[in-house]
Structure 1
Amino acid sequence: MAADRSTESRRLAPVLLILAILVVTTLDATTGPELHISAFMGIAPLYAALRCPFRQTLLVAVVFVVCLTYVDIWTVPDWAPASRVVGIFGAFLVAAFSLMLCRTRLQREALHARTSLVADTVQRAMLRELPLSAGSVEAYGFYVSAVEGARVGGDIYEAIDTPYGLRLMIGDVQGKGMPAIGAGVEVLASFREAAQYQESLESVAGRMEQALARYNARSAEQGADERFVTALLMEVRDTDGAAEGRVLSCGHIPYYLVRDGEVHERRDGEGALPLGLGALSGEPRRSVRVHPEPDDWVVLCTDGVTEARGEDGTFYPLAERLARWTHLEPADLTRTLRADLEDFAHGSLKDDATVLVVRRRTNPDPDGQLSLARAAAA
């Protein structure tokens, strides 16, 4: 609807501009030389250059030059010939400048469109579109980059159906926006690979740490900043018809468990340092066993959500908000949560913000279950 209104407005703009030029010309021709308002008509072709296609801008410019030439020659009898020449030359100059401005604008818009297409394709390849679906689990949510117009930034997430069960990850790269993408790509790619072949979450986190260490080494050689990544890894396996899970936190903020309509903040698996800082501690990372129930929901987020500030400086009360909306379906919950978060922060989030609402599907895809069973058997 907004795009249709914008297109209609662009089509109507040259018509209105030409009508305005003709009205001003008529006023100058009928009110006498003491009222010379045609000098303001130069706004018309300049406005067309900023809003209209080239042909429409050319039409407005031609009408402007013709009308102003008529006014300078026939409606101002007390002007000297030199003054008329200067006025007509000025009209041609304004028209030529408008056409050059329009051409430059169109070239930049075309370049921006091509660049945006490439960037959008790269960003889609990095982060899959929400909602995610893996095995018997679906994850709804939203991602908001701190950089306006960017699809991705410093937050990463993924859900993968592996021979070892469903594996889910959410991470937050030090920094925000576009400069944090490089480290995020390395960690995300490492998780996608390691999750398929490493038997334990500890091993998966170890591979992610190694990938980030290599990235930081390259960054140091190039004089760029080294980064660390907080991450929360989850795993759910079906054992004899019962779900069994494990959680490993690499310095990430707590997650929320929604069970029987109540919201519980969970700090399972906390204590390990973020990825990239593991060498500072001799303590190995250890996952913690959890016991999910069929109707449980899990809400994961990054600190861009919990540290979003309101007008009075208070942090966003995520647990309190979730408790109000546990009756909503995941898709409705994420839409409501995003709208409320942006309203709370008055539309100016200072950091990348990601929320994932994860639950088991009521009717899992049988093909997905079959492929999981075959992979586990192999």
Structure 2
Amino acid sequence: MHIKRVPDGGRVLTALLITGIAALAVLDCLTGTRLRLALVASVMPLIAARLCSLGRTVVVAAVFAVAQAVTHCVIMPRWDTAGVLVAVLGALLVAGFSVALCAALLEREAAYDRTRMVADAVQRTILRELPLTAGPLRIAGFYISAQEGARVGGDIYEVVESPAGQQRILIGDVQGKGMPAIGAGHAVLTSFREAAYHEATLEAVADHMEGALLRHNSALSLTGTDERFVTALLLEVGPPGTTIRVLSCGHIPYYVISGDRVEERLPEHFGLPLGLGPLTGAPRRAVDSASSSEWLVLCTDGVTEARDPQGRFYPLRERLSHWAQLPPPDLARALRADLETFTEGELKDDAAVLIVRDASACGGP
């Protein structure tokens, strides 16, 4: 876990550390050799090195060195000269080490921040931040990576508007975790962005995506890395009043919200996950689904298979029924907060939710 420094450079903490050093020095002078507190005081510059700015660490270290020198001069009659020199030298070494440690940590933190900034920029090019907009569609939702410090994991999503005015939506889940899963997800995402714009049908889009993943897997096989497959759900939303078409590549069900009614749906015809199509050669087929006036909630199994400490699965349909009247952005926030509370912040898999709403059909922004 990355520990952040105290705000304002640690002004309050610096005052507390100096006060502690002074108090311990006074006690040392009063108790003489019977009670030695220098070891406790030596922790103060180290705390400053980790949590304060470099300038304040220098101040704390200097106060510590001076306090220790004065203390040993006061009790010198009871010590021999060599003992005093060793004690003062030790205090100077601790002070110098604290300053050097602070400088090294600050340099490392600056490098970490630069790396994190670059990583964030790269990850945003892979997966756009929610909410998304395409034509009349407004897509709220959230994405939680199970990997600490990462914005991107094994779940993918995207929306693309075609020249014909259709909006194509993707949500998918890459098998596995880590960098190989991110690579496979990126291959599928980039192919979707291209195919969803140019191809005439969802079936052609799915074929294009599978071809890209097969080529990616073929390249991986040359390095000895395991091949990946991707479950995906593709949607095509046309003008208001038309029916939404859905094509499932082995993905979990989605949900349709109409008024207070929440219905779980799985297309009657669905194909194998992307990357596994050649096993059967069976063509994938898109089917008609909900009306464009209805809301759709798409998710990955990181949501439906999330568990609480007692091992119970997250009741997504029940939660959707309870919050069906909320606007999509509020519904997304409520679901995310409830999911993190339900799991006590211990998600075992990436979790993504997309709430799809046709603003023009629903009569609102």
Equivalent in the alignment of 1:289: 288
The residue that corresponds to 2:98 in the other structure is: 98
Q: Check whether the contact 1:269–1:287 (CA below 8 A) recurs between aligned residues.
A: no
Name the residue aligned to 1:307.
Answer: 305
The alignment status of 1:246 with 2:245, answered yes or no, reads yes
The separation in 2 between residues aligned to 1:32 and 1:68, in whole angstroms, is: 13
Structure 2 match to 1:64: 64
8 Å CA contact retained: 1:153, 1:177: yes
Instruction: State TM-score, norm by structure 1.
Output: 0.91
Is contact 1:174–1:228 with CA below 8 Å preserved after alignment? Answer: yes
**Contact residue 33 and residue 77 of structure 1 kept, 8 A:** no
Number of residue pairs matched? 359
- Looking at structure 2, the residues matched to 53 and 9 of structure 1 have their Cα atoms a distance apart, in angstroms, of 5
The 2-side partners of 1:244 and 1:363 are apart by 12
Runs (4 or more) in structure 1 with deviation over 6 Å come to none
1:147 equivalent to 2:122? Answer no
Shift of 1:291: 4.5
The alpha-carbon distance between structure 1 residues 291 and 320, as it changes in their structure 2 partners (threshold 3 A), is closer
- How far does the alpha carbon of each residue in 1:3-51 deviate from its partner, in whole angstroms, 9 at most, with x for none? x994147221112111211222223334444333233210111111111
Determine the C-alpha separation between the residues in 2 that align with 1:196 and 1:282: 25
Tell me how far apart the structure 1 counterparts of residues 95 and 5 of structure 2 sit (CA, whole Å).
28
Asked if the contact 1:249/1:269 (under 8 Å) is kept, the reply is: no
Whether contact under 8 Å (2:127, 2:157) holds in the other structure is yes
After TM superposition, the structure 1 stretch with the greater mean CA deviation from structure 2, 219-228 or 98-107, is: 98-107
Residues 69-128 of structure 1, C-alpha deviation per residue, up to 9 Å, x if partnerless? 111122242101111111011111111221221122111101100100000000111111
| Secondary structure of the structure 2 residue equivalent to 1:242 | coil
Instruction: Show the 5 A alignment for 1:37-116.
Output: 37-116=37-116
Q: Distance in 2 between matches of 1:362 and 1:275?
A: 33
Cα 1:344–1:108 shift into 2, 3 Å = same
Q: How does 1:309-348 map to 2 (within 5 A)?
A: 309-348=307-346
Give the residue type in structure 2 aligned to 1:80.
D
Structure 1 residue 363: Cα displacement: 8.1
Q: How far apart in 2 are the matches of 1:176 and 1:321?
A: 27
Equivalent residue letter for 1:20: G
State the Cα distance separating 1:161 from its structure 2 match.
1.3
Counting only pairs closer than 5 Å after superposition, residues 247-286 of structure 1 correspond to structure 2 as 247-268=246-267, 270-286=269-285
- C-alpha separation in 2, matches of 1:300 and 1:24: 61
Aligned to 2:176: 175
Note if 1:201 corresponds to 2:231.
Answer: no
Contact 2:9 2:53 in 1 (8 A): no
C-alpha deviation, 1:179, in angstroms: 3.5
The TM-score, its normalising length taken from structure 2, stands at: 0.94
Distance in 2, Cα, partners of 1:139 & 1:70 = 67
Q: Which residue of 2 aligns with 1:360?
A: 358
Q: Which runs of 5+ in 1 are unaligned?
A: 366-378
Q: What per-residue deviation string (whole Å, max 9, x for no partner) do you get for residues 277-313 of structure 1?
A: 000012111110234142x110000000001111221
Structure 1 residue 56 displacement after superposition: 1.2
Name the Cα RMSD after superposition.
Answer: 1.9
Structure 2 SS opposite 1:118: helix
Identical residues among aligned pairs (%): 52
Q: C-alpha separation between the residues in 2 aligned to 1:136 and 1:16?
A: 57
Query: Is residue 137–residue 358 contact of structure 1 (8 Å, CA) maintained in 2?
Result: yes
Distance in 2 (CA, whole Å) between partners of 1:270 and 1:82 is 88
Amino acid at match of 2:317: A
State the Cα distance separating 1:250 from its structure 2 match.
0.3
Q: 1:59 to 1:135 in 2, by over 3 A?
A: same
CA contact (8 A) 1:136 1:364 kept: no
